Amino acid sequence: MRKELRHLARRVGRRFKKILNSILGRLALLLLKAIRWTNPYWMADFGGRFMRIVGPWLPEHRTGRVNLAAAFPEKSPAEIENILGGVWDNLGRVAAEFAHIDRLVAAAMQHPGLTFITYGPETLERARQLRTDGKPALLFAAHLANWELPILGANHFQLDLTLLYRRSNLDGIADAVLHVVDPGAHLANVEQAGRVTKLLATHIASHTSALAQRSAAVSAGMTVRRQVLGDAHVDRSIAGATEFPAPFQDFITRTAWGDIWSRPGLDHHTRRLLTLAILTAVGNEHELDMHIRAALRAGIDPDELVEVFLHTAVYAGVPNSNLAFALGKQALADLSAEPEENETT
């Protein structure tokens, strides 16, 4: 009974939250519409004064006080409170200005005497020239108070404008990427859970040192893989790759080639002979044939392969070595032909 009640309470809570969010969204929209009916200058002043009163009662004010005290230990409590008051004042003005921002720009250009945003006659004349001279132009702009206004001014003068922003100081924003997940609607993370999760994981991992190490291992592994197996073989393997075995190929390139084969303790020649002995011992015909051919193409003396297979026969069994000799014989017979088998390790 208690479990059913908890389940019911959660359902009611989710339903109530959904209704509350809908109500708050409508109220916010109504508030913005109401603000547009007010005088923008008076409303900005009112918003600033209102947030100077309300802000200090919010928990964010205490967080800001602690952070500022830690960042600026030389400042007195009064100076810190004055800074926070300015923060709240600015936030209130932003809320009021946001509802009017398109009108403020237009009003300033149509009525240069307004003091909220001031454009000199030269600026207005230059904007008109940009619209009529038919020449491309490069503009450099910065913030005006809280807003990036060039796009609004360009819209007012009907200019075709492309905006380029410098890299943000916030790495999480600066490295943000846009992916269109289709099909998807209101809840893309539910409707396309696998794709969204993969995109998020890739983006998060791309900002960690672990991914840098992983990428380095893949790069090193691909270099060694080409040295051991040959460019032609690797190119065929990559050309025939599909999405299904891609994670396994990434794993093998990083671990087998990028880690083990790249270690300095043994040279490639010795590792080739060890690999041939182990593959003979376990009877892995496909891999053994591939490595026999790769070794012969790399110039390994066939007599060395004979010694490896004989030695393996003593410790791993005659039948497995018999298979290795047969594969070696066939590889020597068509040494000039490239193998058709695809690599897996």
Q: What's the rounded Cα separation, in Å, for the pair 309 and 307? A: 6
Q: Whole-prediction pTM value?
A: 0.41
Instruction: Give the least confident one: 31-45, 100-114, 269-283.
Output: 100-114
Question: 23 or 175: which carries more pLDDT confidence?
Answer: 23
**For residue range 13-41, what is the model confidence (pLDDT) as tens digits?**
888 888 888 888 888 888 888 888 888 88
At 88 the pLDDT is: 93
Residue 345, Cβ neighbours under 10 Å: how many? 18
Q: What's the rounded Cα separation, in Å, for the pair 4 and 59? A: 36
At 11 the pLDDT is: 80
At 16 the pLDDT is: 85
Q: What's the rounded Cα separation, in Å, for the pair 252 and 259? A: 9
Calculate what percentage of the chain has a pLDDT beyond 70: 78
Residue 280, Cβ neighbours under 10 Å: how many? 29
Average pLDDT, the chain: 81
Calculate what percentage of the chain has a pLDDT beyond 90: 30
Averaging pLDDT over each range in 127-131, 150-154, 156-160, 202-206, which range is the top one? Answer: 127-131
Spatial contact of 254 and 221, defined as CB atoms under 8 Å apart: yes
279 burial level (CB within 10 Å; 0-12, 13-18, 19+): buried
* Residue carrying the six token digits 């959660």: 10
Residue 82 pLDDT level (bands cut at 50, 70, 90): very high
Asked if the model's pLDDT at residue 98 lies above 60, the reply is yes
At 133 the pLDDT is: 84
Q: Return the H-helix or E-strand segment holding 101.
A: helix 101-110
At 341 the pLDDT is: 47
At 165 the pLDDT is: 63
51 burial level (CB within 10 Å; 0-12, 13-18, 19+): buried
At 181 the pLDDT is: 74
At 342 the pLDDT is: 45
At 131 the pLDDT is: 80
* Residue carrying the six token digits 């916030």: 170
From residue 97, how far is each of 35, 91, 144 by CA, in Å? 9, 10, 12
Q: What's the rounded Cα separation, in Å, for the pair 71 and 325? A: 74
* CATH superfamily placement of domain 210-333: AhpD-like (1.20.1290.10)
Residue 175, Cβ neighbours under 10 Å: how many? 12
- What is the mean predicted confidence (pLDDT) over 51-69? 91
Residue ranges per structural domain of the chain: 11-99, 103-156, 210-333
At 245 the pLDDT is: 85
Asked if the model's pLDDT at residue 276 lies above 90, the reply is yes
Q: Of 185, 186, 281, 298, give the one whose Cα is nearest residue 233.
A: 298
CB within 8 Å of 203: residues ≥ 6 apart: 175, 177
Instruction: Give the least confident one: 39-48, 112-121, 294-303.
Output: 112-121
Collapse the DSSP code of 143 into the 3-class scheme (helix H, G, I; strand E, B; otherwise coil) and give the result.
coil
- What is the mean predicted confidence (pLDDT) over 200-224? 75
Residue 311 pLDDT level (bands cut at 50, 70, 90): very high
At 179 the pLDDT is: 75
At 344 the pLDDT is: 46
Residue 166 pLDDT level (bands cut at 50, 70, 90): low
- 144 phi and psi angles, rounded to 5 deg: -110, 105
- What is the mean predicted confidence (pLDDT) over 61-90? 91
Under DSSP, the state recorded for 144 is B
**For residue range 181-207, what is the model confidence (pLDDT) as tens digits?**
777 666 677 777 888 888 877 776 666
Q: What's the rounded Cα separation, in Å, for the pair 168 and 172? A: 9
At 28 the pLDDT is: 83
